[in-house]
Amino acid sequence: MGKEKKSGGCFGWFIVLIVVGAIALALGLTLRNKFHKGGGDAPVPGPPGAVTKKYGDALEVALQFFDIQKSGKLENNEIPWRGDSALQDGKDADLDLSKGMYDAGDHMKFQFPMAYTATVLSWAILEYGDQMNAAGQLESAKNSLKWLTDYFINAHPEPNVLYIQVGDPDLDHKCWDRPEDMTEKRPAIQINASSPGSDVAAETAAAMAAASLVFKSNSGYSSSLLKHAKELFTFADQSRGLYSESIPEVQTYYNSTGYGDELLWAASWLYHATKDHTYLDYVTGSNGESYANWGSPTWFSWDDKRPGTQVLLSRVSFFDSKVASNANLQKYKKTAEAVMRGLLPKSPTATESRTKGGLLWISQWNALQHPVASAFLAVIYSDYMLTSSTQKIHCDSNSFRAADLRKFAMSQANYVLGDNPMKMSYLVGYGDKYSQFVHHRGASIPVDATTNCSNGWQWLESDTPNPNVATGALVGGPFLNETFVDSRNNSMQTEPSTYNSAVIVGLLSGLVTTSSVVTSFT
């Protein structure tokens, strides 16, 4: 009896130890999943983890380029070589179009790439605002976004009128001067019902719909943005046409190859902003059949919004079970998966267009735009997979995890930041070696120089480095053979742009620390 009692007590304690151990293991796994993403595939709800210094520093640098590009009367200006400029923009149309941003190294305000910049920046904030905040950069991003959306509101004075350009590109490109010293004429150009521009109107609608979610705590401003977004989408849809046919002078600079992708992109953002199923029906109905190009992956850029739309609508498939079974919605998700498989180096369908150092290389001009934009989509999609506990995507007999997509995204970011054969950073101001001859008028001219349109060319031709650092500029990038000619006259490689800045900010925000994405923006 005594032995039996003793034996039974030991067995009881053994059971207790197993139970306690199981509870401890479960608690440990929960905490690990909550606060640690690493290279694993466990979902990571909860707050961001520790900030990765490399990406945090780079994010702070990248956001500064938006301040450099600002037009108008500057507020809390921390760029010592920038001042107020273009204060009379829009006066010929009785509008205040002084805000907004210059698109690149010149002084033009082109709405098509500017609106894309705002849409991508909004998306980055919506997906990764908590990460930005952990790195101390959220307010900077939101301030830059509002500088753009304030401009868009003023540029849309009537439901069927949108001002899509300030400046004459022919006159502007005959000058090399500081924006503060501009004297050339800067006409404001509009689209309207008789001179339509569905592409630029829809892209602006997308930007304002996305931004309405970013600023939803400011209900009045958010409502105003959403009102403009709805009106612009209706205008874009009902008065169809390419803006570069209505305004032929832009064809040399930002020619549009179609407007169907922007209509789908705008409707997708309006669905997220309103939850109005009319917009979901728009993208999954006949317009989707006409413009989505399901099953044919392309490259995300200021001219092609299809990959962005496919990933954005995948969010609906991942997180909204009420509509996820929609057959055409699933086609967007399957095409997004095809985009992802094309990015992964070990995928059977991987694009072979890469440098030896592993950079996606699609275009000789502004080579970094496509790999950085693709990496931004990859890190978003990987986090959709993590948050929804989706284990794999499949390609024939191969399968890939969220960690594979994140690894790819990191490889492109690391290349930009210096892990490349040139051992240089293509993000100006980050690291010890970066472009000294950025193709940028304001950066190239000393603040105390007296210049006008015609006598500033000496600074373009000068063989001395820029006197002002264009901090945060993501330059065009390397050639396919991974060489880089650092010359102001080499605008193909050394000119930065705000739309490049938007995608690098998005990418770095997704990598800067650990966290899952939210399942709803509203």
pLDDT given at position 457: 96
Catalytic residue among 107, 156, 439, 440: 439
Question: What pLDDT sits at residue 291?
Answer: 98
In the annotation, is 439 catalytic? yes
d(CA 204, CA 297): 24
Residues with Cβ < 8 Å from 514, sequence gap 6 or more?
35, 36, 37, 38, 44, 48, 49, 50
pLDDT for 43 equals 52
Average pLDDT per consecutive 10 residues, the chain (522 residues; last block may be shorter): 34 40 43 39 72 98 98 96 98 98 97 98 97 97 98 98 97 96 96 98 99 98 98 98 97 97 98 98 97 97 98 97 95 97 95 96 96 98 95 86 96 98 97 98 95 92 97 98 97 98 98 90 92
Which pLDDT score, from 0 to 100, does residue 397 have? 78
Q: What is the DSSP string of 244-265?
A: HHHSGGGHHHH--S-SHHHHHH
> What is the residue-averaged pLDDT of the chain?
92
The percentage of residues in the chain with a pLDDT greater than 70, rounded to a whole number, is: 91
DSSP-based three-state secondary structure for 226: helix
Q: Where are the alpha helices (DSSP H) in 48-196?
A: 53-68, 111-134, 138-154, 169-172
| Residue 263, CA atoms < 13 Å, CB-side half-sphere | 26
- Within 10 Å of residue 114's Cβ, how many Cβ atoms? 31
pLDDT at 28: 42
Sign of torsion over alpha carbons 476, 188, 81, 490: positive
Closest to 442 in 3D by CA, of 178, 182, 106, 70: 178
Beta bridge partners of 434: 425
* pLDDT score of 46: 72
Domain boundaries, the chain: 53-512
Crossing angle of helices 498-511 and 111-134, in 10° steps, is 20
Closest CA to 376 of 474, 507, 502: 507
Residue 37's pLDDT is what? 37
Supply φ then ψ for residue 389, to 5 degrees.
60, 35
Cβ–Cβ under 8 Å, residues 52 and 511: yes
Q: What's residue 44's pLDDT?
A: 61
Q: Look up residue 208 and give its two tokens.
A: 């304002």
* Angle at CA of residue 117, ends 115 and 118, nearest 5°: 65
Q: What is the pLDDT of residue 83?
A: 97
For position 7, what pLDDT does the model report? 34
**H or E segment at 76?**
none
pTM of the shown model: 0.92
First to last CA, the chain: 67
Q: What pLDDT, on the 0 to 100 scale, is given for residue 396?
A: 76
What architecture does CATH give domain 53-512? Alpha/alpha barrel (1.50)
Question: What is the bridge-based pairing of β-strands 188-191 and 398-400?
Answer: unpaired
